[in-house]
Amino acid sequence: YYEDAKDSLENEERKRNASFSKSSRKRSKLDSSSLNHTSPDSSEAEQSVSITSDISEKTPSQQKKTDILPIFKVSSRNGGKTKTDKIQIKFNVDKITKKRDVNTNVSKAKYSALSSLSKKVLCAEENPENSLVASLLSSYRTNQDSDSLQINQLDASSNSQPTTVYSSKLTAEAKKIVRLHNEDENAAQVALLNFIFRSVGGTVNTFLDANEIQLEEMDSEQWGNIVTDLADDMRHTPIDSILFCADPAGALHASTIYDKAESDGECLETSGLPLTQSSLGVREYRKIFEEFWYILGKIALSEGNMSSNVITPEDNNIQSLSQNDAQKSKKAKGLTNVGSSTTIRFDAELVRDLISRVSDLVSVGQPDIRAAATTAILYLGHAVIDTTMHLTGKIDTTSRQLRAASGAKGSTKKKIGTKVESLTNQIDFLKRSRADLEEVILGPVIKGLFGHRYRDSNWWIRSSCLDALSRMMLQRPDLFMTDYYLKYFGWMLSDKVECVRISSLNGLLKPFEVAEKYSASSSGSSIDISLLEHVSTKFLSRIADCVIDTTIPVQEKAMKLMLYLLRNGFLDEIEDEKMWNQVNLRALASDTSQEMRIDALYFIMEQLEAFDECAESDEGIKYKNKRNTSSNQDLDDRRSALQLDALASWASHALTDGPIPVEEIKIELVDHLVVSLRQMPNHKSIVTRWSVILKAINEDNIATTSQGKFAGDKADLAKQRVLVQMLSCAARLEVGPLINSIKLENLEQEIKECMAKDKHVKGTKKLISSSTVHESLSIALVQALPLLLIKFKSDYIILRSLTSLPQYFIPSVFSLLQRKTDFISLFKNLSDIFLESSDDIVLYNVSLSISTLCSNTHIRAPDAKAVLNKTIAKICSKIKDGLEKLVESLKSDDVNSSQSNSSVHSSVTGSRNEENDSNHVLYLNYKRLRFLAKRMDLTHHFPFDSDDCEHGLEQICNITYTTFTKVLKAGMDKISKSEGMTEDKIDLCEINSFHCSAVAFTIHEGLLFMLCTVAWKLCPILKHEALLTKEDDDHGDRDSTRHNHSDSKDESIIKFRNNLLSLLELCFAQYIEDEESDQNMKCWSDSIQKSGAICASDMRSLFPREWENASSPLLRKLAITDDARLIGGCVRFFRSKEQDRLRRVNKFDDSQGDLVKPLLLSLGRSLVTNWKVGNRREAGVALAHMTGSGPGASQIVTSLSRLLKKMEPVRLLEAQMASLRQSYEDWLDNEPEDIDSINPTDKEMELLDEAEKEHVIQFHHLEQRAFKFSMSLGVNKLSDKKLAPAIVGFIREGIRYSFSSCGESGEDDVILGSRLSFLNIMSKYVHWVKKLKVQEDIFSEILKAKSEELKSNDEFEEVHSDDLEALAEFASLFKVDTTRIFHENTSPESSLDQNIETSDHQTIQSDHKPYSQSIGSALSHLSSVRGDLSPLYEEKNLSYDRDSNNSLESSLSQKRP
């Protein structure tokens, strides 16, 4: 806005002062000072312009109307006379300043990048005087006032290349080249070739010497030698020193994606790459390179030897002069310029020669050279095309003069005949000149270059050719907008690379965009859109397929093109339903961009009659009712209702089209329509008129297709769901951010505080506006929602949307007297749905709504709590009945187990259905309690007869604990008896399968309910204990501050905690040892253990072990200190499910996600909470899933590792060692066994080969995990200083373990040297140690000593060659040659050996079990199948002590439990 205002003022100034001389003319400047007062130069200049704002003269109301449209007085004074005009400028100072600062910063960054690039690329002897590349790199340093650098443009309107800051310098360089060409053709062409060679990565060594080489006399062999030398020289050029590459993003980007693109045919987007200093400079140089060739083409045409120029003076009294006379006249008059030079004949041959010379490079094998030559020729062609446009304009002007002269009256025939003949000759001359230039384009450029390069092997060259053809088509549509050229865009739509497909779509899309632009500006356009009809019809199917392309940019371009085709009538006769549906459904697609979905929705609206009829009928009615606001409002509501109904009908038909059950339609996709509508300014009201949406839901109109036909019963049923989902999504988007940012109970207070502060006035207006919308939405929903809940009570899909709406209510609405009935009815309906529904989403939404409506922020809260108490009473009554029946079923199972199988089968079958129904009801009621307990504290909502409200909650928890204990003990008995179960008894278990699963689900929900109850009881204790400091405790103030917490309440929370821990241990006792056990029992065992693992992790998070050192006695009592059995149970179950459920290399699906989130995520939470005193072996089990378990597990474990490193980095390093060693031992144990048969079959050999390959792949995955572990420690340097000494001990322990062969018992349990391959894993950490040169020498001595000890062992000959190779590879990292050691006869009792061994024993302490025994062996036994639950204890005094010779601090000197 600022620049437009400045330009308009300057134009006004020039018009007023056209009669004055240039020497006395001064331009006005619009700056910050001139906006307030008269220009400071107004008193000094003979003629000046002052600008003052007229805002101060207006009233506040007038200022509000004009806002950012102030009236500026423009005063011009000349000779004492002042003339004042008023102009209105759309002005925003803040935006202007910010935009100017951003542009300035960008320009500075570009110039800085070019400067650094020139320092990196140019040699010492290269400078702007003798190097064209150096001149272009410094082209941003221009002298705008130099007359020699003025750009000679033929016609600014005909130039398709914009003028930049580099244009002046480039014009000067282009003139030098043309003048040199006029004198020495060979030297000029050699200079241009050297310019190309230097740009693509060549050096001064590959420059051609014009004195030694004559380009016209060179044959193909000589050209081949030159190009070969250039390509060889380019290979040695650093990748960041290549100025021009086929890839517009630069050679660095090309080297990154080239291999991938060649292998799978994909090309990454360059627009999303971060702009580094190097890439920014290369991209800017490419623009300079392109502009230079364009300007060179212009200068060559106008200043070649065969060109002719005349001077057109500014003064009408000066006639046409030659150039010499013009210069003399200029000096005589003392003027800076007497006129402009006009070219009347162009040197087309010079341009043809330049194109022909550069064309010798377009067929070479190196893609960067081809790309540079292709770019040069194409931009020379653009210059020629622009010149033909200039000539076309002259021909049109001269033709009009000819028609005027032919019909002139009042002149003699002789004069008329002479003028007509002169104009006719001039037209013929201009047409011949244009024809010569068109021949240059159609011959060397199109046929010679484009005809071959549009299918080049390099995709960027293909893309640049298509972009050039598109640009030429817009420049000269009369030449190129024909089916002959348009077919190239259609052909290349099937290219395998994204950028080429985008260029093809752009070629077809740009004519529509240009035509629309000219149509909007009411100016004529030379582009005839109808010429695109044939190519659009022929390639329509391919364009429609691009809408579902694999890349989003292609989808967006294709959708825009399809929208233009529809709006211009090209699709009126297309009846391909598959194509229409394919394009329309993109409005509901989740795998695309929002811009794509908006265009797709516009595409749909063009097909719906509601959007056309409303616009046509409303225009006349609104004109009649301009002053009738209520009529216009009703009209808008009617139009929105019709449009909403049309969209809902289409969406329901689209979602139900095909063999899709109504229950399985993806109703959540409708949210995309709402989001798109909200981003359409003209259609946003469709989803913000709440009364219209509610009315549409209640009217229940039939669903129709886009053609107005009945869509069917299934679509009619889905339409209601669509409308309700649209209402839910619109409400969430409209007031959801307000609810998330401001608490409902503090909304009014915060608004008042914001209004009291002047600096928050703008934000307050927005908040008040949002509050108004929020209130109108709440009123509309409170009135309509109770009836809607009753109407759709049986449709759980609609209930999912409806039950989510009460959370968006504003509390002040409930305070209104007329809303009391609606509120009570709404809450009762929600409670009834909560008692009857079994859908998880409905239960979650209802519990969220209940907790919101029961909050103490409105006067209806007591009524809501009364209804909630009755609801909970009903749930508790059903739970009690269900638990009694469950206990009775356990007794009946014991009786049946003692009877014969035949009698059991006959007696049990009749009663199982009733028991299953009872268990299912029990499960649902526990689930309802769990949902409520997660949202709110239920302590005071149990309406039992006892006066103590809390007694009701304790009673239900105690009954739950007693019953679950009996059930779990009975499960243990069944598991112990299942080993000797006969086939008949297995059949009995199959009958009980649903019974077992229902009971398991009940226990899961019951445990979660008890966990939530414990958490709510813990919450006030934490709030109270947080107020106590250690000083308070030391002064004996604790007893006085705990008067509100009785001992009974403390004992209550401890009892709850102990009961839950007891149940969790029983859950882990359900472990089944035998893998061939009955499937139903295994499902029971897995479900119970999974529930126990989740709750155990959360319990350890609620009662962390760190509390044992708390100052509060109560917190010390609550801390879970003996957690070994919980950890052991979790880890045992976790590891039992690793291979078949968690270890998935591909993307995890639902079957895998059911363990990734509940187990791995809960395990990670407990580790983070207790990490300061946490179990490193447990952490190692979790860290093992950083790789090999899918992206979901990898993301969780990576985040876990990052958090653990922040808290205790050294402890994380120990956990990494535990993880690596445990996985390595598992890998050793899983080694494929040899075939016992002497003559194995082919199938056995094939299975053995597959097992061996899988074994190798597992080790590679282990190496990959070690690499990621190492990289997580830091980037280039360790992220924590504590890790520096710890990494030394880490590598020492890895070396010791690799050379050892002892097990937990101290005896050899593996073959000598079989663990040497573990050194390959340790090698991923070596780069951290090598930075400490002193430590590197010590490790060298340790490896030599260990190698000599290995060599002296009697079993050395049995060491496998692969293990020795692993040792040699690891030792080479420390420059140790183990091959020489193994071939020498050295004594193991050498002094060096003894010294190193002594130092090694000092490092690994001997007062406790070795590291391998505490981690590796213990975890190995843990993973073995056992029926009893063993505790998982943490190793003690585990530390990497410092080496006495290096004075390194101990990394783990602190003793940990």
DSSP of 842-896: HHHHHHHHHHHHTSTTSTTHHHHHHHHHHHHHHHHHHHHHHHHHHHHHHHHHHHH
Please tell me the distance from the alpha carbon of residue 777 to that of residue 739, in angstroms, as a whole number.
Answer: 13
927 or 859: whose pLDDT is higher?
927
**What is the pLDDT at residue 928?**
94
Structure-block tokens of residue 989:
């278990």
**pLDDT over 70 for what percent of the chain?**
69
**What is the pLDDT at residue 1437?**
38
- Strand pairing category for 71-78 and 81-88: antiparallel
Please tell me the distance from the alpha carbon of residue 1052 to that of residue 207, in angstroms, as a whole number.
Answer: 91
Mean pLDDT over each residue of the chain, to the nearest integer: 75
**What is the pLDDT at residue 938?**
87
Give the mean pLDDT of 544-553. Answer: 92
Q: 1384 pLDDT band (50/70/90 cuts)?
A: low
**What is the pLDDT at residue 962?**
92
pLDDT > 90? residue 1060: yes
Other residues' Cβ atoms within 10 Å of the Cβ of residue 599: 24
Q: 605 pLDDT band (50/70/90 cuts)?
A: very high
Bridge partners of residue 1277, in order along the sequence: 1275
Give the mean pLDDT of 65-90. Answer: 41
Cα 400 to Cα 129, 420, 525: the distances in Å are 48, 11, 19
Nearest to 171 by CA among 184, 159, 185: 159
pLDDT > 60? residue 92: no
955 or 1144: whose pLDDT is higher?
955
**pLDDT over 90 for what percent of the chain?**
19
Structure-block tokens of residue 782:
């409170």
377 or 1378: whose pLDDT is higher?
377
834 or 121: whose pLDDT is higher?
834
**What is the pLDDT at residue 1339?**
84
Q: 11 pLDDT band (50/70/90 cuts)?
A: low
Give the mean pLDDT of 487-491. Answer: 92
Please tell me the distance from the alpha carbon of residue 534 to that of residue 572, in angstroms, as a whole number.
Answer: 14
**What is the pLDDT at residue 29?**
34
Give the mean pLDDT of 255-273. Answer: 52
Q: Are 307 and 346 in contact (CB under 8 A)?
A: yes
Please tell me the distance from the alpha carbon of residue 1141 to that of residue 1136, in angstroms, as a whole number.
Answer: 9
309 or 1320: whose pLDDT is higher?
1320
Give the mean pLDDT of 941-960. Answer: 71
Q: 887 pLDDT band (50/70/90 cuts)?
A: confident
Looking at 555-564, 626-635, 850-859, which range is the least confident one? 626-635
pLDDT > 80? residue 437: yes
Which residue has tokens 């690379």? 497
Looking at 754-758, 1128-1132, 1206-1210, 1244-1248, which range is the least confident one? 754-758
Give the mean pLDDT of 546-551. Answer: 91
pLDDT > 50? residue 322: no
Looking at 6-10, 195-199, 707-711, which range is the least confident one? 6-10
**pTM summary value:** 0.75
Please tell me the distance from the alpha carbon of residue 1067 to that of residue 1090, in angstroms, as a whole number.
Answer: 9
Q: Give the model confidence (pLDDT) of 996-1037 as tens digits.
A: 788 889 999 999 999 999 999 888 888 777 544 344 444 444
Q: 75 pLDDT band (50/70/90 cuts)?
A: very low
End-to-end CA distance of the chain: 70
**Tell me, what amino acid is at 434?**
R
pLDDT > 90? residue 1397: no
Bridge partners of residue 48, in order along the sequence: 77
Give the mean pLDDT of 1315-1340. Answer: 83
pLDDT > 60? residue 910: no
Structure-block tokens of residue 1221:
């060693």
Q: Give the model confidence (pLDDT) of 1144-1196 as tens digits.
A: 444 434 444 456 677 888 888 889 988 988 888 888 888 988 887 778 888 88
Look up residue 74 and give its DSSP letter.
E
pLDDT > 80? residue 618: no
**What is the pLDDT at residue 901?**
46
**What is the pLDDT at residue 1348?**
86
**Tell me, what amino acid is at 1374?**
F
**What is the pLDDT at residue 1204?**
92
Looking at 336-340, 943-947, 1300-1304, which range is the least confident one? 336-340
pLDDT > 80? residue 918: yes
Cβ partners under 8 Å of residue 25, min gap 6: 17, 47
pLDDT > 60? residue 1404: no
Q: Are 1180 and 1415 in contact (CB under 8 A)?
A: yes
Cα 186 to Cα 214, 301, 302: the distances in Å are 6, 18, 20
**What is the pLDDT at residue 520?**
66
Look up residue 1184 and give its DSSP letter.
G
126 or 987: whose pLDDT is higher?
126
**What is the pLDDT at residue 560?**
94
Q: Are 864 and 853 in contact (CB under 8 A)?
A: yes
In this structure, the chain runs to a length of: 1457
Q: Are 797 and 720 in contact (CB under 8 A)?
A: no
**What is the pLDDT at residue 765?**
40
**DSSP string computed for 1235-1284:** P--SS--HHHHHHHHHHHHHHHHHHHHHHHHHHHHHHTTEESEESSTTHH
Q: How many CA atoms lie within 13 A of 1047 on its CB side?
A: 1
Q: 630 pLDDT band (50/70/90 cuts)?
A: low
811 or 842: whose pLDDT is higher?
842
Q: Which helix (H) or strand (E) element contains residue 312?
A: strand 308-313
